[in-house]
Homo-oligomer: A and B are copies of this chain.
């Protein structure tokens, strides 16, 4: 059997973890990495997984840019953050061949459209990772729990290609659950139902855990979720009626949790405000759905982002 050629672009916690899994499953995995380049080039990645044990992931090619990639990738996994500073199309373009399946393992809603437009002849797979892992040092990734990957072709027509299934098979082979969804766009909206309230509120509260937020401001959480439900429905992706209830109950059952946006904020990294809130509001405006609460959260997050930038300038 022919070995799959896979290129990972963006090797933070997520990219290094799934790259390491695909390598474990027998694929030929290369990486484009920026900050940790020299460490990765010399030693590869070290993966410390509380679930699968520890192993070293030595990429086939370690590159500074997609322009250096040799060969034709079967899959390109884009695992960067979705922030305005990153032009995702320019970032991956040089390594996209006619047969390359572009796979987005990224946060947010409506993040596929620009790539569909830029690469109309490529298969585009959208992916949602439910994983708890951290980059604890250069080229060192700690996988604490979970890992489930949901993959789906953004083309939901009957005769769509099925590259998502093969990728899921590889992840499953490596010991982590991956499934193929027939409605990945709706799945993104469902994830947004949780992300839209808890990510901004964790930052705006000054760093409260999801447990503290929910136990004191449940009505606000429900209001935000209701706005997201209405937008998703207007976009043609109605979520199940009990989605809010399920999300609320699941969050009560979770241990106190720091959101990715809060972690980014505390580390002085860019936050995915546009991917999570901005794109949601763009959809709402397009579909004429009023959402005063999301509007307010978005404006407040822009203020907090401005303050963070002002602070960094002063340092």
Contact = CB atoms under 8 A, between A and B. Distances in A.
Interface of A: 201, 204-208, 212-213, 216-217, 219-220, 223, 292-293, 295-297, 299-300, 302-304, 306-308, 310
Contacts of A207: 307
4 shortest interchain CB distances as A-B pairs: A205-B303, A292-B292, A206-B307, A220-B299
Contacts of A219: 299
A258 to B, nearest CB: 13
Contacts of A307: 205-208, 212
A300 B220 CA distance: 9
A306 B212 contact: yes
For the residues of A in contact with B, the DSSP-based class is helix
A300 B216 CA distance: 10
Contacts of A223: 292, 295-296
A106 to B, nearest CB: 26
Nearest to A297: B296
A304 B220 contact: no
Nearest to A218: B299
Q: How many copies does the complex hold?
A: 2
A310 B212 contact: yes
A206 to B, nearest CB: 4
Contacts of A205: 300, 303-304, 306-307
Nearest to A208: B307
Contacts of A306: 205, 208, 212, 216
Given A201-B300, A293-B295, 7 more contacts: A201-B303, A204-B204, A206-B308, A213-B303, A219-B299, A220-B295, A223-B296
A54 B147 CA distance: 68
A207 B304 CA distance: 8
30 contacts: A201-B303, A204-B204, A204-B304, A205-B300, A205-B304, A205-B306, A205-B307, A206-B303, A206-B304, A206-B307, A206-B308, A207-B307, A208-B303, A208-B310, A212-B303, A212-B306, A212-B307, A212-B310, A213-B303, A217-B299, A217-B303, A220-B295, A220-B300, A223-B295, A292-B292, A292-B296, A293-B295, A293-B296, A296-B296, A300-B300
A307 to B, nearest CB: 4
B217 A302 contact: yes
A304 B216 CA distance: 11
Contacts of A216: 302-303, 306
